[in-house]
Amino acid sequence: MIGVMFLVALIFALNVLNEPNRLEDAADVQTEIFVERGAEIYVQNCRSCHGLEGFGPDEGAIAPALNSPAFLILGENHVSGAEPTSAGVANGIRDFLGNTIACGRSNSVMPVWSDQYGGPLSAQQIDYLVTLITEGRWDLVDEIGHEIDSHQDPPATREDILSDGQGLSLTTENCGQYNALTAKPFRERDPFASASASAATSKNESEGEKKTVETATGGDTQEALIQGLSVSDYYGSLCAACHGANREGGLGLPLTREYLTEPDNFYIDTIKDGRSGTLMAAYGGGAVLTDEEVQAIVTWLKNTDP
Ligand code: HEC
Ligand code: HEC
């Protein structure tokens, strides 16, 4: 009897000592449930564009990679030994992903997903997706994808998507602040860079910025501004979604110098009038761009390397 009482007391004491761990375990269990649900939703809705395992163009998919280290939120004991992600940065990443998924990306084929804006997913389901991406659990996407494919038609390939083009439509307006240009710092974040290396880059970046500003305001190679942006930033905000951040092409054709062999007017007309039956919209007639701005873009495309 005394032995049993002693044992009960001991178990109780151990439980009290173990309380913080139990809380952590509970959080882990919740995260695991979230990522699993996120992976199911991803497989059903996202992999046709972002890739079966989220690798994007590396898998031949038409949309950017989502299994990028840039979107990871690292915990205290991350295996890499990298610094845990600060709460502020983590919130920024969650907002960026949540906003983009909820609202889609205007001027790209990234659809609106939130049921608040006419899409098919609830805020909770979008949260599951965000957790999947910030936890980087692409192993689950792979596993669930294989399971589903074993009793369902395989998902559309890049060729299927581009050949009928019907499933693709441009998201014109969105509820969010992000475009391809404002998305850039999030896409390029490197959580594994050591603190000293990142300090060095940010110094270089600010010096680089100063230089661009100087050339934009004076000097021989003065760059034209469109709606307050340099031509290259304007390209980044509006055209890169289809033609690629480095003009390498994607949904649209490559726009590097070696591809642009026709006279200026050919490209000016394309940008002004668009190409009917394709995703290339008309930007001319002052609706989006003035004639001078279209000319400035063509001059820039034909005379600079990405
Ligand atoms: C929604 C996707 C999309 C966006 C955004 C877009 N384009 Fe295009 N663009 C295309 C597609 C698709 C084609 C190819 C049409 C075809 O099949 O002929 C194209 C073709 C072009 C061409 C002709 C290239 C060639 O070799 O014939 C130019 C120039 C061009 N786009 C410039 C731009 C510029 C500048 C912007 C930004 C203001 C832009 N595009 C935005 C999809 C897009
Ligand atoms: C019809 C194709 C398509 C589908 C389906 C699609 N996306 Fe996208 N998505 C895109 C494109 C294209 C972009 C890039 C837009 C740009 O360049 O600004 C994008 C961008 C994103 C981004 C921002 C990434 C970045 O680097 O800026 C996230 C996050 C995202 N999608 C998540 C999802 C999720 C989650 C789903 C499924 C619920 C999904 N997408 C379904 C085409 C798609």
pLDDT 10s digits, 147-165: 988 887 777 777 777 665 5
Six token digits for residue 102: 């909820």
Separation of alpha carbons 29 and 35, rounded Å: 10
CB atoms within 10 A of CB 260: 18
- Residue 203's pLDDT is 46
Separation of alpha carbons 216 and 84, rounded Å: 38
Separation of alpha carbons 187 and 176, rounded Å: 17
- Give CA 40 to chain center in angstroms: 19
Atom 1 of ligand 1: nearest residue by CA position: 279
225 Cα to the center of ligand 1, angstroms: 20
| Greatest C-alpha distance within the chain | 97
In percent, how much of the chain has pLDDT > 70?
Answer: 81
| C-beta of 43 in contact with ligand 2 (< 6 A) | no
Atom 36 of ligand 1: nearest residue by CA position: 239
Ligand 1 pocket residues where CB is under 6 Å: 107, 170, 238-239, 241-243, 251-253, 255, 259, 267, 270-271, 275, 278-280, 283, 297
216 Cα to the center of ligand 1, angstroms: 26
- Residue 206's pLDDT is 47
293 Cα to the center of ligand 2, angstroms: 29
- Residue 254's pLDDT is 92
- Residue 1's pLDDT is 67
Indicate the burial class of 82 (C-beta count within 10 angstroms; 0-12, 13-18, 19 or more).
Answer: middle
CA torsion angle for 115, 106, 155, 66 (degrees, to 10)?
Answer: -100
Six token digits for residue 211: 């230089």
Across 20-47, average pLDDT: 89
270 Cα to the center of ligand 2, angstroms: 26
Cβ(222)–Cβ(215) below 8 Å: yes
- What are 104-120's pLDDT values in tens digits? 987 788 899 999 999 99
Total residues belonging to the chain: 306
**Selection from 250, 93, 227, 105 nearest residue 169 by Cα:** 105
Residue 187 has pLDDT above 60, yes or no: yes
Cα dihedral sign, 176-181-186-187: positive
- Give CA 244 to chain center in angstroms: 13
- What are 37-46's pLDDT values in tens digits? 999 999 999 9
Lowest mean per-residue pLDDT among 50-54, 121-125, 170-174, 277-281 = 170-174
Residue 47 has pLDDT above 50, yes or no: yes
Cβ(103)–Cβ(114) below 8 Å: yes
- Residue 165's pLDDT is 58
Atom of ligand 1 nearest to the CA of 235: 37
- Residue 164's pLDDT is 59
Q: Band the pLDDT of 261: cuts 50, 70, 90.
A: very high
Mutational pocket test of ligand 2: of 37, 41, 49, the residue with most ligand atoms within 8 Å of the beta carbon: 49
Six token digits for residue 1: 């009897």
- Residue 220's pLDDT is 38
Residue 166 has pLDDT above 70, yes or no: no
Instruction: Give per-residue burial for 188-225: e unless 16+ CB within 10 Å, then b.
Output: ebebeeeeeeeeeeeeeeeeeeeeeeeeeeeeeeebbe
CB atoms within 10 A of CB 37: 18
- Residue 280's pLDDT is 87
Indicate the burial class of 264 (C-beta count within 10 angstroms; 0-12, 13-18, 19 or more).
Answer: middle
- What are 73-82's pLDDT values in tens digits? 998 877 777 8
- What are 193-238's pLDDT values in tens digits? 854 454 444 444 444 443 343 333 433 345 788 888 899 989 988 8
**Selection from 234, 254, 258, 229 nearest residue 244 by Cα:** 254
- Residue 81's pLDDT is 78
- What are 135-148's pLDDT values in tens digits? 999 999 999 999 98
Q: Band the pLDDT of 87: cuts 50, 70, 90.
A: very high
Mutational pocket test of ligand 2: of 42, 68, 105, 115, the residue with most ligand atoms within 8 Å of the beta carbon: 105
Cβ(90)–Cβ(78) below 8 Å: no
Cβ(62)–Cβ(251) below 8 Å: yes
